[in-house]
């Protein structure tokens, strides 16, 4: 798109809050989705947390995990409570609330946001873990839902810390914006950072928003991803049952399953 034409479109659409941007080539999006196709796990997936929003599927490989770090605190802490009930210490953080929705002896709360710097309001993931008192080198779990800031947090995390998370559960936001070339670059780098040490083992689209269908691809704006560290007996077979029997819709809006472009059938 030439600069004069782009400037004219900006002038035309600007009053409506619309800004043109370069579109991502479909092949690049397909290549990213290919890397994220979920693998099956030797240990079965179990559900931690409630049947609606706030519950997630993880491999039944929790023995030996010392602590779960869970930034983004909601009114319901069902996932965190079930972790704590299993003897896993839970570290929670959120600047926007004063405390978790319910107490537990193994809950530890910090009133800060997670980010890429540490100051009065924010802290990095590395600084949070380092200041928590967990044993050096112990296995950890990360459950993260921070409304779109997850990309920069993953990019800012050290490789050494990433290797300590045996399981990562993350809700990724704005996935429909993968067609936006600038956003695609940010998201792709974050996913590639995780995939250096982990395999994707489950994806569940959040049905609070409608799918974006374009050029034969269907992108959910929100989706919950589960990653398992590569050393935990990885499987070479792709998962091919979606939704999983333990999956549950996040809201009472119309259900939709994980689109086929996000997973592959058994060969």
Model confidence band, residue 137 (pLDDT cutoffs 50, 70, 90): confident
Is the per-residue pLDDT at 89 higher than 90? yes
Q: Give the start-to-end residue ranges of the domains of the chain.
A: 23-262
Contact 51, 164 (CB under 8 A): no
Q: What does the block give as tokens for 39? A: 């693998």
Q: Which sign does the torsion angle of CA 50, 132, 138, 229 carry?
A: positive
pLDDT value for 16? 60
Q: Mean pLDDT, to the nearest integer, of 24-34?
A: 96
Is the per-residue pLDDT at 18 higher than 60? no
* CATH class of the region 23-262: alpha beta
Is the per-residue pLDDT at 27 higher than 90? yes
Is the per-residue pLDDT at 54 higher than 80? no
pLDDT value for 21? 73
Model confidence band, residue 49 (pLDDT cutoffs 50, 70, 90): confident
Average pLDDT, the chain: 90
pLDDT digits (tens, 9 = 90+) for 147-184: 889 999 999 999 999 999 999 999 999 999 999 999 99
Q: Which sign does the torsion angle of CA 134, 194, 86, 53 carry?
A: positive
Q: Of 161, 253, 170, 179, nearest to 216 (Cα)?
A: 179
Is the per-residue pLDDT at 20 higher than 80? no
pLDDT digits (tens, 9 = 90+) for 182-231: 999 999 999 999 999 999 999 999 999 999 999 999 999 999 999 999 99
Helix (H) or strand (E) holding 39: strand 39-41
Is the per-residue pLDDT at 57 higher than 90? yes
Q: Mean pLDDT, to the nearest integer, of 56-70?
A: 96
């Amino acid at each position: 798109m030439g600069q004069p034409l782009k400037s004219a479109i900006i002038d035309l659409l600007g009053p409506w809050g619309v800004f043109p941007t370069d579109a991502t080539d479909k092949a690049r999006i397909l290549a990213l989705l290919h890397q994220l196709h979920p693998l099956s796990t030797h240990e079965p997936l179990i559900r931690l947390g409630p049947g609606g929003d706030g519950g997630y599927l993880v491999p039944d490989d929790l023995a030996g995990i010392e602590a779960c770090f869970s930034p983004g605190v909601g009114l319901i802490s069902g996932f965190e409570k079930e972790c704590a009930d299993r003897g896993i210490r839970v570290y929670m953080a959120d600047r926007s609330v004063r405390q978790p929705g319910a107490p537990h002896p193994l809950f530890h709360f910090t009133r800060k946001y997670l980010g890429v710097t540490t100051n009065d309001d924010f802290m990095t993931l590395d600084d949070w873990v380092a200041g928590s008192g967990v044993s050096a080198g112990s296995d950890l779990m990360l459950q993260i839902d921070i409304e779109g800031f997850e990309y920069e947090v993953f990019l800012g995390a050290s490789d050494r810390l990433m290797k300590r998370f045996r399981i990562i559960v993350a809700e990724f936001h704005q996935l429909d914006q993968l067609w936006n070339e600038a956003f695609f670059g940010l998201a792709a780098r974050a996913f590639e950072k995780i995939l250096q040490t982990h395999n994707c083992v489950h994806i569940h689209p959040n049905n609070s928003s409608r799918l974006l269908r374009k050029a034969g691809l269907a992108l959910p704006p929100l989706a919950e991803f589960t990653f398992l560290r590569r050393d935990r007996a990885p499987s070479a077979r792709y998962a091919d049952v979606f939704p999983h029997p333990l999956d549950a819709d996040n809201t009472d809006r119309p259900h939709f399953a994980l689109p086929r472009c996000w997973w592959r059938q058994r060969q």
